[in-house]
Structures are given as C-alpha cells and as structure tokens.
Amino acid sequence: MTLQQLAGVALPIIQAPMAGAQASAMAIAASNAGALGSLPCAMLGVDAMRSELMAIKAQTARPFNVNFFCHAQPTPDAKREAAWRASLAAYYHAFGIDANSIPTGPGRLPFSSEAANVLAEFKPAVVSFHFGLPSAELLALVKGWGSRIFASATTVDEARWLEAHGVDAIIAQGLEAGGHRGNFLSEDLTTQIGTVALLPQILRAVRLPVIAAGGIADAKGVAAALALGAAGVQIGTAYLLCPEATITAVHRAALKSEAVRHTALTNVFTGRPARGIVNRIMRELGPMSTVAPAFPLATSAIAPLRAKAESQGSSDFSPLWCGQNASGCKEVPAAQLTRELAGV
Ligand SMILES: Cc1cc2nc3c(=O)[nH]c(=O)nc-3n(C[C@H](O)[C@H](O)[C@H](O)COP(=O)(O)O)c2cc1C
C-alpha cells in the first residue's frame, strides 16, 4: 500500500515532524500542497497542542499527522546532574551564570492520556511515534478513533517489533537523518545504518508499508526511495530554511554556512543521540558524552548557556539539528518545496 492510499494524500511525501523547528504553519502548508503535513508535539503542553490542532483544522481540510515521543520519563539522578553541571562549570563561569539557579525541567514529554484526550477531539488521519510506542491502552485508544499509526524504526529488529505491536506503517529512519534517532530497542549506535542499506532490509523483514527517512533532499532522492520499494518518504532537513520553520537565527545561519557539511550524532543537548551541525559544545564535551543525564534531562543545564550565547549571536551551545544532506534546503515556502520534492 502506498502512502497516498494509507493517509489519503496526493503525494508520497510526509513533511517530517520536527519538534522545536516547526509548528502548525508548516504542517498546514505541506498538507495543502498535497503532502502529509506533521505537527510535532514533543515540546508542546496540552493547551498549546490544542490551539495548534485548531489552527490546522481551520486552515486545511486535508489529512495531517500528529507526532509524539514515547520515551519513559527517567527518574532524576542528583549525582549525575551534579556531574553534568560540573562539566559545564567553566562555561557558566564565563557567562556569569549561577549554576544553582538553573531549574530542572522535563524538556520533552512523552505521549500521555492527557495528550490522547486532546487528540481525540481532532482524530487526525495519522499519528506517528518516535522512540517506540505508547502503552497498549493508549495505542488502542488512538486506533479506536481510526487514526493510522506510523512509527520510526532504525533497525530490522525495531521494524519487526513495531509490526508485532500493531502499527500501520514503518518509518525506516536511516543514519543520515537530522534530529533525534528513533532507536528504542538498543542504545548501541553501531546498530544504526544508512537509509539505502536499511530500507531494503526492513522491506524484506515486514509486510507493512515502509516510509524512507534520512538524507532525502530532492525529487531524484524521492524517486530513488520509491524505486527501492518505499511506500513514501519522510523529509525533515530540506524544510528547515522554509519561512514556516521556527528555528533560531543562529540555526538558520548555520544551515546556510559551510558548517552544514559536518554533522554528528550527539547526546549533549538532551541525553539522547540526535544529529546536528557540529559546534563548540559538541566538540568540547562530545559529541557523545558519558556524563550527560538520561533523555531528556540533559536539556535544562544547557538552556541558560544556549540563551546567553544566542543573545550574543553565537551558536556555540545551541542544538543545530540537521541531517547529513542539507543540499535540499531552500528559502522557499514549504508548499513550493513540497511540490519540487514531488517533482510536480
Ligand atoms: C530539526 C529536526 C527535528 C526533528 N524532530 C523530530 C520529532 O519531533 N519527531 C520525530 O518523529 N522526528 C523528528 N525528526 C526526525 C525526522 O522525523 C526524520 O526522521 C528526519 O528529518 C529525516 O531525515 P532528513 O532530516 O535527512 O530529511 C527531526 C528532524 C529534524 C531535522
């Protein structure tokens, strides 16, 4: 089954959900252009989520996707937090930040029954999950109102697991992809492989439709993924320079610079590996740190450094999420980019 059949859209393209980088405006533009637009909810409280969903409903009658993270919230570990803050002490000192005044916060929230209650008012065509799936009860609730369930797999094992747990389509997320890796069965990064290697192996292992994600940046890339047997593609990085993206000025500038060609997986910003443009803090503390607290608890300690640096125009402490192939980034409206990606 194709993505078009699964989701009721005209084009084989999902505008990837990108928490912190876009909201309803991009989803609306992509959906109205014929793709499946996505609303990422990992960084939205339920009130913000409801107002974003109302905006989408008001501005498109087309299908859209609502996306959630499914991590288990870790128990805060005071010792680890202290060690993490100690490793940041020199930076706090340089910026005149009092390390004791930094609040600890949740950073990113997993799908919950509160979120499901709001979602039930909207019954989106597709609900997608990253980092596995929610509890069987919550999943049954979402399926009960008719949404199709998509979820990210980064290995063949994860694809099989998702199939066994009742998803409707698998998003094969290759190592090239920008943002957080969706891995949930293993933390061993040597299990992570590129899209062109991952897609055919997942296609062989499961019966479900498989969406290719990671490194796809133009119409030829889309055609190549479909030729390999993908039911559709999910594209994130290419949309980051569209005016609808809500990224910071320093992120935008980095995407337009030579620096964009060097990305790496890092856990220093959140505690989980995510791909971004290599910057100072990634070089000096990572890119993979053994001290960073569990996801998403690493976020709070970095936040004041990020804010201070950004206020001075510096991206030294900012997560500059970006995939390995930023060649498709264009400063054009998301609707136009969508049509170009689809070759229409
Ligand atoms: C800035 C950014 C934020 C992302 N945030 C999310 C997210 O909130 N949820 C999710 O499922 N995937 C997220 N992703 C991953 C995308 O869904 C997708 O796997 C990836 O963008 C595909 O690779 P590409 O960036 O090379 O196109 C994010 C990607 C980027 C670039």
CA of 94 to the centre of ligand 1 (A): 33
Between the CA of 321 and the centroid of ligand 1 the distance, in Å, is: 8
Task: Identify each DSSP E strand in the chain by its residue range.
Answer: 13-15, 37-40, 64-69, 126-130, 148-153, 169-173, 179-180, 210-213, 232-235, 263-266, 274-277
- The model scores a pTM over 0.75: yes
pLDDT tens over the chain, length 344 residues: 999 999 999 999 999 999 999 999 999 999 999 999 999 999 999 999 999 999 999 999 999 999 999 999 898 899 999 999 999 999 999 999 988 888 776 678 899 999 999 999 999 999 999 999 999 999 999 999 999 999 999 999 999 999 999 999 999 999 999 999 999 999 999 999 999 999 999 999 999 999 999 999 999 999 999 999 999 999 999 999 999 999 999 999 999 999 999 999 999 999 999 999 999 999 999 999 999 999 999 999 999 999 999 999 999 999 999 999 999 999 999 999 999 999 99
**Cα separation, 343 vs 219, whole angstroms:** 5
Looking at ligand 1, which residue's alpha carbon is closest to its atom 29? Answer: 179
192-228 burial code (b ≥16 CB/10 A, e <16): bbebeebbeebbebbebbbbbbbbbbbeebbebbbee
Nearest-atom number in ligand 1 for the CA of 235 is 27
State which of 180, 247, 324 you would mutate to test the pocket of ligand 1, scoring each by most atoms of that ligand within 8 A of its C-beta.
Answer: 180
Residue list, ligand 1 pocket, CB within 6 Å: 16-19, 21, 40, 42, 67, 130, 152, 173, 176-180, 213-216, 234-237, 321, 323, 325
Q: How far does residue 290's CA lie from ligand 1's centre (Å)?
A: 24
